[in-house]
Structure 1
Amino acid sequence: MLAVLMFIYVLLAFAALWRTATTQSYDLFTLGVFPVLYGLIMRRYWAAVVLKIYLAIQTVALLALATAAVIAYQITPEDVKVVFQGRDIPISAIVFSALIAMSFQYWIAFSQKTKDYLKQEE
């Protein structure tokens, strides 16, 4: 399962590089994946801590987004929608996907197998 998480983080790293190149700006949320990925691949002792910090950043960002969405929904419910390439995406699908993604990452981060993997010698 850790290999699946590392694969997802490789995809996120490419997306972060693409976003940085196109917008000419960077932030901790997009570029934070690089130290996590490096630490996991190289089996560094600090990788577990960096992974948990990165998860905390993701959690705070999602909570902020959810709070803003709830407030916006209270003000103008008809304006709270997500449209991607002309199609409305149900909010429930976004919430479900975010919960699954965060739960998976937390499960891996606090797994005993991950701890054992990072304790192994290179």
Structure 2
Amino acid sequence: MSISRPIPLVLLCILYLVLAVVALWRTISTGAVDLFTLGVIPVLVGIVMRTSWSLWALRIYLFIQTLGLMAFATTALVALQITPQDVKLELAGRNIPLLPLAAVLLALLLFQYWVAFSGRTKRFLQQEKSD
């Protein structure tokens, strides 16, 4: 019996596809290779092809994202302690509030953890392909 593709995994693939397109666009436009975002490509390929290593790649990539977010948060907290009035994040001339950004990043990270460690995801990716 074939297990259908779990909806959370489909949503994660859509998120990773958008991230991969943005990463490729950024790499082409700036000429700078960013392995943090380009690392999503092998994970996405593994999930779509349902390879034997895709679950491990997803979990390792998630761990790398967690380390990156922790480094970002630590840097922001240290900077806030030193000069709180100078801590701001700007993108294209617009100030991005740190608290909503942190909440969104944490929510995205938690969603990815939920998908990566879900039993349905594990069963789907470990099931033999019948097609």
What TM-score range do you get, normalising by the shorter chain?
Answer: over 0.9
Q: TM-score, normalised by structure 2?
A: 0.88
Counterpart among 53, 59, 69 of residue 52 in structure 1: 59
Secondary structure in 2 aligned to 1:88? strand
| Alignment partners' CA distance in 2, 1:25 and 1:83 | 20
> What amino acid is the match of 2:48?
I
1:23 Cα offset (Å) = 1.7
1:86 Cα offset (Å) = 3.9
Identity in percent: 51
Partner of residue 83, structure 1: 90
The two structures, once aligned, show a CA RMSD in angstroms of: 1.2
Q: Show the 5 A alignment for 1:22-37.
A: 22-37=29-44
Unaligned runs of 5+ in 1: none
Deviation per residue, 1:9-44 (Å, 9 max, x gap)? 000110110011012121321110011000100001
CA contact (8 A) 2:23 2:34 kept: no
Q: TM-score, normalised by structure 1?
A: 0.94
Unaligned runs of 5+ in 2: 1-7
Are 1:13 and 2:25 matched, yes or no?
no
1:83 Cα offset (Å) = 2.7
